[in-house]
Amino acid sequence: NAGVTQTPKFRVLKTGQSMTLLCAQDMNHEYMYWYRQDPGMGLRLIHYSVGEGTTAKGEVPDGYNVSRLKKQNFLLGLESAAPSQTSVYFCASSSWTSNGNEQFFGPGTRLTVL
Amino acid sequence: TQLLEQSPQFLSIQEGENLTVYCNSSSVFSSLQWYRQEPGEGPVLLVTVVTGGEVKKLKRLTFQFGDARKDSSLHITAAQPGDTGLYLCAGARGDYKLSFGAGTTVTVRA
C-alpha cells in the first residue's frame, strides 16, 4: 500500500516549457487535490477533483490545468511555465469520514522554473 | 490573506520545555485538523477536532478546539527533538476543501 505517490520528485524547466505532474493513490479515495507550498504561505489549493471525470478550480488555478481520467490518478499540467510557478507541489487524496475530509499527502515535487 | 492565522511563525525551544501553537480565524469551521510536516516530505495528519470545546490528546500533544469553533491550539509537553517540524492547521467548512494556515516552524534543541 503506497498511499499517495508523485512523479517526478524534482524538475527544472525553462520559462515557456510545459510539463505534467502525475499523482497516483491506491486508497480508492474519491477526492484528490493539488496544492502549491511557498515559504510563509502554507498550502494553497490549485485545483481539485471530487470524482473521476470531474475537476474544479481552487484558490490559485491560473496557469495550471488538471485532468482526472481515472479515479486513482490526478494530473497537473503547466502549459507555459513561468518563474512564479517555482514551488513545491503536493498532491493529496481523501474520502469523506465521520471526521470530515482528512487528507493524505504525497511526498511532493520540487519545481524550479528558470 | 490567510483564512487561518497561525502564531507564532517560528518557535525554538530547549528539549524538555513546553510549547503552544495557536490557530485563529474569524470564520467558523465544521472541523479543524493539525498536520506535521518534516523537511522534504508531505504533511502528515496528527488529529481532527470536530466539536466546540473538544480536547484530544496524542501522547505529549494536546489539541483543543475553541468553543465557537473558530480557533484551536496545539500544546506539546516536554518537547523532544523528534517534535521538530512545520505544524499546519487546516479548517473545513463542510465542503470538499481545506483552508490551511501558513504554519509554525518548531525547532527543539537537544
Helix, strand or coil, per DSSP, at residue A83: helix
Are B48 and A107 within 8 A, CB to CB? no
Instruction: Mark residue A49 as left, alpha or beta (left: phi above 0; alpha: psi -120 to 50; beta: remaining).
Output: beta
CA dist., res. B100 & res. B72, Å (int) = 13
DSSP state of B83: G
B64 min Cα distance to partner chain A (Å): 15
Considering only CB atoms, which chain B residues are within 8 Å of A102? 33, 45, 48
Average pLDDT (B11-33) is: 96
CB B46 within 8 A of CB B36: yes
Over residues A19-43, the pLDDT tens digits come to 999 999 999 999 999 999 998 888 9
Inter-residue contact A103 to A90 (CB < 8 Å): no
A59-64 long-range contacts (CB < 8 A, ≥24 apart) are: A60/A36, A64/A34
Can you tell me whether residue A8 is helix, strand or coil? coil
Q: Do B43 and A44 touch (CB under 8 A)?
A: no
Contact with chain B for residue A27, Cβ under 8 A: no
- Name the pLDDT band for A98 (thresholds 50, 70, 90): confident
**By CA distance, what is B42's nearest residue in A?**
A107
Dist CA B61 CA A30 (whole Å) = 30
